Amino acid sequence: MHSDRASLGLKIAAGAGLAFMHLPLLLIFIYAFTTEDKSYQWPPPGLTLKWFSVTWSRPDVWEALSLSVRVAAISTAIALVLGTLCAAAVSRTKFFGREAVSLMVILPIALPGIITGISLRSAFNLADIPFSFWTIVLGHATFCVVVVYNNAVARFRRTSGSLIEASMDLGADSFQTFRHVILPNIATALLAGGMLAFALSFDEVIVTTFTAGQQQTLPIWMLEELVRPRQRPVTNVVAMVVVLVTFLPILGAYYLTRGTDTVAGQGK
Amino acid sequence: MSDLSLHTGRSGPLTRLSDWLWRNPRMLILLLLTPPALWLGIIYLGSLFALLAQSFFSIDEFSGLIVYEFTLKTYGELFTPANFDIIVRTVVMAAAVTVAAALISFPIAYYAARYAKGKWKAVFYLGVMLPLWSSYLVKVYSWKLILAKEGILNWLFEILHMKWLLEAYLAIPVIGGNSLSVSWTGTFLVFLYVWLPFMVLPIQASLERVPTSMLEASGDLGANPGQSFRYVLLPLALPGVIAGSIFTFSLTLGDYIIPQIVGSSRRFIGQAVYSYQGTAGNIPLAAAFAVVPIVIMGVYLWVAKRKGAFDAL
């Protein structure tokens, strides 16, 4: 245990663990090309590219995708503003209730999603708010704040307060300081947080089932297919595309925050 | 400050506002906090408390309407055998998933924290990050493919001539069933798979902070690797394990989609909440059920905090 080389047992255990996390995802990639469309038969009887064009010409998939992207974009924008404000307040000074504020931000993600979901739904019922695009956004923005907040707080902590004082001493007002000193310092952290918030919203299904009504986001479309499989090949293709699309923001966020002490995405 | 701004010729309402904020940092904090506090306070906490309040109402058994009078009757219903079974079942499942996730995560986290260098460090990091952030439904879907009767797992057992082993396993009551995809073992595997990355990261974070010299000292003082692990490494990594278990435990407690897609007809807390608020229209009972994971997690977090788990988050 005190040597510099890992024992064989540890290597095998670590490798097997990583394989366990990745093989199921790889399987999705193979199934997207199978010729079988009635069952989940393994091994695939043949390989084809046909289902990609079938999926491409499906209006319901496009509508669900478009709704998901719009919801994720607006929710991310709201979360960016709220998360940055919160992080700025919490990291600049110690004030009464500081712990309570960070708890409030983390709560929507710490409690099971189903609780957030039915709370919102029963509140919409009580207040007679009909389901709409905005009810979905309301839920998503709420749990996206924490991702932006975590990234921004980590960066604010590393940004020296003397920079801000120096800027003020040199005659800049608060707004100029924000624009020319604070913003460039936290920009990559915000970008990383925003990407992760987008990924989180794009993938969310538990809260969305309660706030969407009859609307279908892409995860809801997938959920229907999971419960009652009707078009397996199309689902296979959509699943593969979703995996590829979510990898991009994760890789992006990783490269943006690499080399800092807290790397983005640790607190999903 | 205002003197200075006169000298430099700064004026205008924005500058004056900025100077005023600089002189009144408390007001600045207040202004910064108001929008997020309003959003989270009204939308999130507001609806949460409205829901919890409903758990103190009850439902009229004949009309099916909610009676808006304070009562603990709904909480009493949680302890009827059928409902209590659901709670016990969910907690046992969450505990099993947590223990298994800790066992599988530890070697990954230990290797990544202690031996992986340079490029391999990045490989391990992304190797955990990508599954963590991949779509939840796609992950569940991949297991539906794996566990299907005509799927890869049955095929593997077949070509290895081990079909009898699988059948013997499925014949075991409680954890077995007609096939893996409708058994608790299936549900357990999917839970384990989906929440595993949430366990690896905190353990790795706590292991990164264990100085190598401590393990060397332990070895120099005559401990064998097993003893070093038991008496030095494990106690130091425990906060990380507890931090990870918060995720695996809480996420399993509240999930209603996984047991619905892969699993038997016996329900979990999440499914109970979902069906009571939906088709049954019994919001008070759904709310009371929703309190169960909140209370369990409250106790859990309190214990975790005393063990210092939050420093590892």
- ipTM value greater than 0.90: no
CA atoms within 13 A on the CB side of B37: 12
How much is the pLDDT for A247?
A: 83
Residue A222 exposed, middle or buried by CB count within 10 Å (0-12, 13-18, 19+): buried
pLDDT of residue B236: 85
Q: Which domains does chain A have, with CATH numbers?
A: 58-257 (1.10.3720.10)
Assigned token pair, A222: 């997938």
pLDDT digits (tens, 9 = 90+) for A60-96: 889 999 999 999 999 999 999 999 999 888 877 677 7
Count CB pairs under 8 A between chains A and B. 275
Digit-coded pLDDT (tens) for A135-176? 999 999 998 998 898 888 888 877 777 888 888 888 888 788
Give the residue on B whose Cα is nearest the Cα of A168.
B22
Check pLDDT > 80 for residue A54: yes
**pLDDT at res. A259:** 63
Shortest CB distance from A28 goes to which of B48, B142, B294?
B142
Q: Distance (Å, rounded) from C-alpha A204 to C-alpha A165?
A: 41
Interchain CB contact of B20 with A (< 8 Å):
no
The contacts of residue B255 (CB under 8 Å, 6+ apart) are A112, A114, A206, B191, B268, B270
Of the residues B47, B157, B194, the best mutation for testing chain A's interface (the one with the most A CB atoms within 10 Å of its CB) is B47
Convert the pLDDT of each residue in A9-40 to its tens digit. 888 999 999 999 999 999 988 888 888 877 88
Residue among A95, A116, A263 minimizing CB distance to B29: A95
Q: Is A166 on the interface with B (CB under 8 A)?
A: no
Residues 204-243 of chain A whose Cβ lies under 8 A from any Cβ of chain B: 205-206, 219, 222-223, 226-227, 235, 239, 242-243
Question: How far away is chain B from the Cα of A2, in angstroms, using its nearest Cα?
Answer: 5
CB contacts of A268 in chain B (<8 Å) are 132-133, 198
Q: What is the pLDDT of residue A267?
A: 46
Q: Cβ A266–B205 below 8 Å, yes or no?
A: yes
What pLDDT was estimated at residue A266? 46
CA A234 vs CA A16, A65, A220, A238, B254: distances in Å: 31, 14, 15, 6, 29
Q: Which fold has domain B76-312?
A: MetI-like fold (1.10.3720)
Exposure string for B80-118, b = 16+ CB within 10 A, e = fewer: eeebeebbebbbebbebbbebbbebbbbbbbbbbbbbee
Question: Confidence class of residue A4 from pLDDT cuts 50, 70 and 90?
Answer: low
Tens digits of residue pLDDT in B29-39 = 888 888 888 88
Residues of A in contact with B256 (CB under 8 A): 114, 206
Using an 8 Å CB-CB cutoff, list chain A residues near B254: 111-115, 206
- CA–CA distance from B215 to each of A3, A146, B29, B220, B228 (Å)? 10, 36, 46, 9, 7
**Domain ranges within chain B, ordered by starting residue:** 2-43, 76-312
Alpha-carbon distance B62 to nearest alpha carbon in chain A (angstroms): 22
Give B282's contacts (C-beta < 8 A, 6+ positions apart). B59, B276
Helix (H, G, I), strand (E, B) or coil at A135: helix
What pLDDT, on the 0 to 100 scale, is given for residue B311? Answer: 60
Contact B91, B296 (CB under 8 A): yes
Instruction: Identify the band that residue A110 occupies on the pLDDT scale cut at 50, 70 and 90.
Output: confident
Does any CB of chain A come closer than 8 Å to the CB of residue B2? no
Nearest CB among A121, A123, A173 relative to B46 is that of: A123
Residue ranges of chain B whose pLDDT lies below 50:
1-8
B47 contacts A119? CB cut-off 8 A? yes
Q: Share the mean pLDDT of chain A.
A: 84
CB contact under 8 A, A206 and B255: yes
Do the chains contact at A118 and B131, CB–CB below 8 Å?
A: no
Minimal Cβ distance to A27: which of B146, B201, B205: B146
Q: Does A201 touch chain B (CB under 8 A)?
A: no
Of B11, B27, B145, which to mutate for an interface test with A (greatest number of A Cβ within 10 Å)?
B145
Asked if residues B200 and B244 have their Cβ atoms less than 8 Å apart, the reply is yes
Return the pLDDT at B143.
92
A5: contact with B, CB 8 A cutoff: yes
More confident residue, A141 or A227: A141
- Neighbour-count burial for B140-156, b at 16+ CB within 10 Å, e otherwise: bbbbbbbbbeebbbbee
At residue B2, the 3 state secondary structure works out as helix
The answer to whether the beta carbons of residues A95 and A113 sit under 8 Å apart is no
Q: In whole angstroms, what separates CA B273 from the centre of its chain?
A: 17
